[in-house]
Amino acid sequence: LDSKLPTTAVSVFSQMSALAEQHQALNLSQGFPNYPASTELIALVNRYMEKGFNQYAPMPGCMPLREQIAHKVSDVYGLAVDPETEITITAGGTQALFTTIATLVRPGDEVIIFEPAYDSYRPSVELFGGKVVPIRLLAPDFSIDWQQVRAAISDKTKLIMLNNPSNPAAKVLSPDDLKELEEILRDSSIFLLSDEVYEHIVFDGRQHQSALSYPALRERSFVIASFGKLLHTTGWKLGYAIAPPELSREFRKVHQFNVFSVNTPMQMAIATYLKEERRYRDLPAFFQEKRDFLTEGLRGSRFAVQPSEGTYFLLLSYQGISDLSEMEFAHHLTINHGVATVPIAAFYSEPCEQKLLRLCFAKDTDSLAKAIDLLQKV
């Protein structure tokens, strides 16, 4: 077979989770919660299955769920989005990303991404013949040099992919960042894919800046979200894309022949749950407590914790502990110290060694306490 992705291997998340299992290590690598999902939400899924919601959903998604998403956007950002023409329910954020790229990218198009970048971005672009133009962000602050973005734009630039709050850098962009981007894209024909799956997980009083809130961005944006992050249910693989009507129409043309529609009883259950509970308001405090517990607990260890502004990840520096590469050290830590993490070198397309590991803190308190105990002994 002439591989379409010759340089792509099994994802680092699958690799590290498998290594964790093999060595019975505490798995802080792949990003997922290890505490139970809401019992009310699970009961609602059962109830909708019993009531007979077991057949295909409408292609763009169940209307009650699209209405609740519109309600949430209005509640959080004070903006009106039309559930009929602007919201499409997808199989997780991943399918929304992939479908957006499939909708836009033609062979030879250039797509700007910021590295460290979420692992699905590059292969998805390359599958459609796009050329990735990476802009490297470096520790410690991972901020964007907007001059560099201006310089990277060419007449072939089709799309910019932004991830805010960003995985794995745990960086939250400021209003000035979004305004800069708005100025860059205004009057251009470049689209924006704004991956906002961690929109509700921002810390220390920060406000998430959605691309939806910036008119010159909104008119050219596909904004991606994930119920996995919102409801602590990554295994349900449900998410959505918000885009202006004309862009949503094209997105749905691809979506209907990719999956057609996604899980009906779960869509209905989430709609009812969101209507009854506005729990997304509690997420910053919920995760900030976990972030602070872990950060405090690692004080006095040989690791240095980098501040996490958002997402449920933080970065740990092992500078001063070892000269091993990130991948080697991540293996060492899993096999010999019982804690699995992700080397952030895996999120760069060119070699980049910063002695940084990503660690997921969406875990119950016992697991975080165990992590502290194990990492303090390194």
Which residues make up the interface to ligand GLN (CB under 6 A)?
11, 13, 30-31, 167
Give min distance, CB of 249 to ligand GLN, in A. Answer: 28
Give min distance, CB of 319 to ligand PMP, in A. Answer: 25
User: 32 to each of 29, 122, 311, 314, 376, how far by Cα in Å?
Assistant: 9, 22, 11, 14, 23
Closest CA to 168 of 14, 294, 17, 348: 348
Q: Of these partners, ligand GLN, ligand PMP, none, which one is at the site of residue 163 (CB under 5 to 8 Å by kind)?
A: ligand PMP
Contact yes or no for 162/194 (Cβ under 8 A):
yes
- Residue 99 or 157: the one with the smaller Cβ distance to ligand PMP is 99
Give min distance, CB of 173 to ligand PMP, in A. Answer: 13
- Residue 99 or 272: the one with the smaller Cβ distance to ligand PMP is 99
Q: Taking the CA of residue 276 as centre, how many other CA atoms within 13 Å lie in the half-sphere pointing to its CB? A: 10
Q: Of these partners, ligand PMP, ligand GLN, none, which one is at the site of residue 210 (CB under 5 to 8 Å by kind)?
A: none
Structure tokens at 15: 């690799």
- Residue 181 or 340: the one with the smaller Cβ distance to ligand GLN is 340
Contact yes or no for 170/201 (Cβ under 8 A):
no
Give min distance, CB of 11 to ligand GLN, in A. Answer: 6
Write out the residues near ligand PMP by the rule CB under 6 A: 31, 92-94, 118, 163, 167, 195, 197, 226, 228, 234, 237, 239
- Structural element, H or E, at residue 94: helix 92-104
Contact yes or no for 224/121 (Cβ under 8 A):
no
Q: Of these partners, ligand PMP, ligand GLN, none, which one is at the site of residue 30 (CB under 5 to 8 Å by kind)?
A: ligand GLN
- Residue 30 or 338: the one with the smaller Cβ distance to ligand PMP is 30
- Residue 30 or 88: the one with the smaller Cβ distance to ligand GLN is 30
In the bound state, the residue with its beta carbon closest to ligand PMP is 92
Query: 3-class secondary structure for 45-61?
Result: HHHHHHCCCCCCCCCCC
To the nearest 10 degrees (0 to 180), the angle between helices 63-77 and 264-276 is: 40
Structure tokens at 133: 């133009």
Give min distance, CB of 212 to ligand GLN, in A. Answer: 22
Structure tokens at 97: 């990303």
Give min distance, CB of 163 to ligand PMP, in A. Answer: 5
